[in-house]
């Protein structure tokens, strides 16, 4: 807490501390229960866990349903976030070039819209579209799902890179132009290097989002290839076994890892673009 | 070798407003010209038109007689130093200076030598490997200059190059820039609203106002014989006296023109001690301040008149010019008084026109 805030709040800062701690517990409690249940020695999801073993983790790795679903999820997340990153970067760079006005504000809202619409209605619409408009050879692949996921992840990339770009002096591009640089050179040597960290961070956030997205997958994944989130739903609907806890723990760990790296990059971005100002 | 730059009736319309209303300047090869004017006078727009960053809606810009109106900025072979320097923060000093060489396809082997020569020119040798952010403001300014000059451009453009520096550094850099200009000999156009800076650096100064050139000339010409009251007020400290029927009424002596306004500078006066037969005026001292090389005194010459600004030698007895003292001032060169054919009342005084707005 900064000294100013500390003094400003006075005695009442105790209340804020209490609220903060409560909120933290509320967020972390489910995790504190799920994780131990995954190392139970018994056959049931129970808390406190019965003894300790890693048998349910072994079970996950030995069941092809889980490992295949994991690879499908990785594939979708990887390609989906690459497309999202390319789109988001292009939009952020493009929006910077067009003149500010009412039109640009409308466009900005449109590009963020995928974050706001309910995934179910979007998925339902896409489902109809894919079934009617695409040949069956295509809608039995992961391609429709990858594109759908990239659309919902694109706003994240756009927001991160637009934020990074707002730290970049717009005169740099003009300066480069006066030095004989055409736009591809400006893009490649000036704009992209300056938002490099933002692009990496955007990619990672997109990846983490797509990795455990379930709604679109339920509608659009082909019957033969289902994602990890789908597999979780499916087995939860049948029986609740400690396998679920083990998978959940691993996904959580992966998400923490990936997002941690992402945060690290978005932090470094600030440091990298702050130089050179008078 | 140096390029001749000419602007002919250049006009710029932006959003229904006319920002430049027909600017014509001929800049000799190797000349250092400064565009001086208050904000909104169109000086930066003029610079951007020369750079190709703003399109002229009328008139022509010519480099060595060839029109460059249709040539975009990257095709004009110019060097532009931005007010904010616009150094690339993700590159080293050397890469910054080498950037315009790279875009001009200068072979890699030759770039290093040019970069080092440029860094020597701006007196920062051996800094090529350093990060831009590790340099001070003044050093960054020098690097921006080195970068602009590296490809030996046809024209060097400077947009308020000193605005971000503190006063002392600014004075050093003005002299430094003049030295570099003399060494390189490139045709240079600078923009400033600082009259001292304009006079220090330039061969000629163009005073701009409302999208037009008010007057263009050497610093001496502009200071001694301003064409208009605006020019007189914008450059240097000015005292205005009405001239009617061929006489300078306040001093009761004859003037060079029948009608208009006489422009007198602070150093045109002396304390009248009776030793010489000079036209005189009786005034009362309002304030006096010692400025090292002179006393500046502001004196009252009667109701409904602007106070006069007068320079007196630093050896003057301070008690003789204390506030409230009555003083008789003599006009040193009554036959050389410059008269502008405008009524003083037609031109409102500028409100601190030379205040430097930091970037």
Residue range A9-31: average pLDDT? 87
The answer to whether A278 faces chain B, any CB pair under 8 Å, is yes
The predicted structure's pLDDT at residue A273:
46
Task: Identify whether the C-beta of residue A69 lies closer than 8 Å to the C-beta of residue A231.
Answer: yes
The answer to whether A184 faces chain B, any CB pair under 8 Å, is no
Mutate which of B55, B89, B102, B163 to disrupt the A interface (most A C-beta within 10 Å)?
B89
Render pLDDT for B159-189 as a digit per residue (tens, 0 to 9).
Answer: 998 888 888 888 888 999 999 999 999 999 9
The A residues from 191 to 220 touching B (CB cutoff 8 Å) are 193-194
How far from chain centre, in Å, is Cα A126?
21
Rounded CA-CA distance B70/A255 in Å is 54
Closest residue on chain A to B136 (Cα): A278
* B53 closest CB neighbour out of A174, A179, A180: A174
The predicted structure's pLDDT at residue B236:
86
The Cα of B84 is separated from the nearest Cα of chain A by a number of Å equal to: 6
The predicted structure's pLDDT at residue A133:
82
CB-CB neighbors (< 8 A) of B90 in chain A: 193-194, 272-273, 275
The predicted structure's pLDDT at residue B145:
94
Would you place residue B356 in the very low, low, confident or very high pLDDT band (cuts 50, 70, 90)? very low
Spell B33-51 as b/e; 16+ CB within 10 A means b. bbbbbbeebbbbbbbbbbb
- Please name which of B227, B264, B258, B223 lies closest in space to residue B243, comparing C-alpha atoms: B258
**ipTM beyond cut 0.90:** no
The Cα of A177 is separated from the nearest Cα of chain B by a number of Å equal to: 5
The B residues from 308 to 327 touching A (CB cutoff 8 Å) are none
The answer to whether B138 faces chain A, any CB pair under 8 Å, is no
Task: Say what angle helices A143-166 and A102-112 make with each other, to 10 degrees.
Answer: 130
The predicted structure's pLDDT at residue A271:
45
- pLDDT exceeds 90 at position A39: no
Residue range B44-52: average pLDDT? 95
Render pLDDT for B239-283 as a digit per residue (tens, 0 to 9).
Answer: 988 888 888 888 888 788 878 899 999 999 999 887 888 888 999
- pLDDT exceeds 80 at position B349: no
Closest residue on chain A to B156 (Cα): A178
- pLDDT exceeds 80 at position B350: no
Q: What rounded mean pLDDT belongs to chain A?
A: 85
**Beta carbons of B79 and A278 less than 8 Å apart:** no
- pLDDT exceeds 90 at position A256: no
**Higher-confidence residue: A275 or A115?**
A115
CB-CB neighbors (< 8 A) of A189 in chain B: 99
The A residues from 111 to 170 touching B (CB cutoff 8 Å) are 169
In chain B the first and final C-alpha atoms are separated, in Å, by 34
Q: In what order do the strands lie in the sheet with B295-300?
A: B269-271, B326-331, B280-290, B295-300, B308-312
The predicted structure's pLDDT at residue B348:
63
The answer to whether A74 faces chain B, any CB pair under 8 Å, is no
The predicted structure's pLDDT at residue B132:
92
Picking from A87-91, A260-264, B338-342, which range would have the lowest pLDDT averaged per residue?
A260-264
The answer to whether A54 faces chain B, any CB pair under 8 Å, is no
The predicted structure's pLDDT at residue B47:
96
Please report, for residues A3, A117, A259, B293, the alpha-carbon distance to residue A208 in angstroms, rounded to integers and kept in the order given. Answer: 36, 19, 7, 70
The Cα of A267 is separated from the nearest Cα of chain B by a number of Å equal to: 16
């Amino acid at each position: 807490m900064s000294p100013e805030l500390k003094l400003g709040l006075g005695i009442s800062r105790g209340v804020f501390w209490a609220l903060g701690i409560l909120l933290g517990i509320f967020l972390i409690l489910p995790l504190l229960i799920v994780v131990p249940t995954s190392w139970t020695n018994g056959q049931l999801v129970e808390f406190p866990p019965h003894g300790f073993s890693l048998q349910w983790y072994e079970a996950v790795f030995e069941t092809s349903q889980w490992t295949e679903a994991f690879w499908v999820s990785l594939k979708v997340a990887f390609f989906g976030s690459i497309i999202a990153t390319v789109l988001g970067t292009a939009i952020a760079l493009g929006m910077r070039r067009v003149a500010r006005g009412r039109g640009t504000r409308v466009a900005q809202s449109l590009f963020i819209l995928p974050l706001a619409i309910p995934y179910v209605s979007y998925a339902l619409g896409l489902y109809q579209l894919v079934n009617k408009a695409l040949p069956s050879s295509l809608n039995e692949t992961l391609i429709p799902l990858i594109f759908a996921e990239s659309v919902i992840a694109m706003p994240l990339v756009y927001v991160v890179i637009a934020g990074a770009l707002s730290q970049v002096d717009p005169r740099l591009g003009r300066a480069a132009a006066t030095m004989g640089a055409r736009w591809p050179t400006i893009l490649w040597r000036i704009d992209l290097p300056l938002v490099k960290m933002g692009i990496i961070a955007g990619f990672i956030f997109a990846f983490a989002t797509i990795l455990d997205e379930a709604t679109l997958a339920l509608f659009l994944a082909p019957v033969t290839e289902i994602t990890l989130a789908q597999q979780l739903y499916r087995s939860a609907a049948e029986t609740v076994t400690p396998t679920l806890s083990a998978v959940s723990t691993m996904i959580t760990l992966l998400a923490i890892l990936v997002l941690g790296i992402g945060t690290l990059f978005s932090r470094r971005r600030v440091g990298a673009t702050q130089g050179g100002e008078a | 070798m140096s390029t001749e730059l000419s602007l002919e009736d250049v006009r710029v319309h932006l959003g229904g407003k006319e920002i430049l209303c027909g600017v014509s300047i001929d800049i000799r090869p190797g000349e250092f010209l400064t565009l001086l004017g208050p904000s909104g006078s169109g000086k930066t727009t003029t610079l951007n038109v020369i750079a190709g960053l703003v399109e002229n809606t009328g008139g022509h810009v010519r480099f060595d007689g060839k029109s460059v109106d249709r040539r975009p900025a990257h095709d004009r072979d110019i060097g532009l130093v931005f007010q904010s320097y616009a150094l690339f923060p993700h590159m080293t000093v050397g890469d910054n200076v080498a950037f315009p060489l790279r875009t001009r396809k200068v072979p890699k082997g030759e770039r290093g030598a040019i970069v080092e020569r440029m860094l020597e020119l701006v007196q920062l040798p051996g800094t090529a490997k350093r990060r831009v952010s590790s340099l001070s403001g003044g050093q960054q300014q020098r690097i921006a200059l080195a970068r602009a000059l590296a490809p030996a451009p046809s024209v060097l453009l400077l947009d308020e190059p000193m605005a971000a520096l503190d006063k002392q550094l600014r004075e050093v850099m003005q002299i430094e820039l003049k030295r570099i200009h003399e060494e390189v000999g490139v045709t240079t156009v600078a923009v400033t609203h600082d009259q001292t800076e304009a006079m220090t650096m330039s061969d000629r100064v163009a005073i701009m106002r409302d999208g037009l050139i008010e007057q263009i000339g050497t610093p001496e010409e502009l200071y001694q014989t301003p064409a208009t009251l605006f020019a007189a007020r914008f450059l240097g400290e000015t005292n205005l006296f009405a001239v009617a029927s061929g006489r300078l009424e306040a001093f009761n002596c004859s003037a060079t023109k029948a009608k208009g306004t006489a422009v007198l500078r602070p150093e045109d006066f002396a304390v009248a001690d009776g030793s010489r037969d000079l036209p005189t005026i009786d005034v009362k001292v309002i304030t006096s301040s010692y400025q090292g090389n002179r006393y500046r005194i502001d004196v009252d010459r009667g109701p409904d008149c602007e106070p006069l600004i007068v320079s007196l030698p630093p050896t003057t007895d301070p008690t003789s010019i204390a506030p409230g003292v009555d003083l008789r001032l003599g006009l040193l060169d009554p036959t050389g008084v410059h008269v502008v054919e405008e009524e003083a009342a037609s031109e409102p005084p500028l409100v601190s026109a030379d205040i430097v707005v930091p970037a």
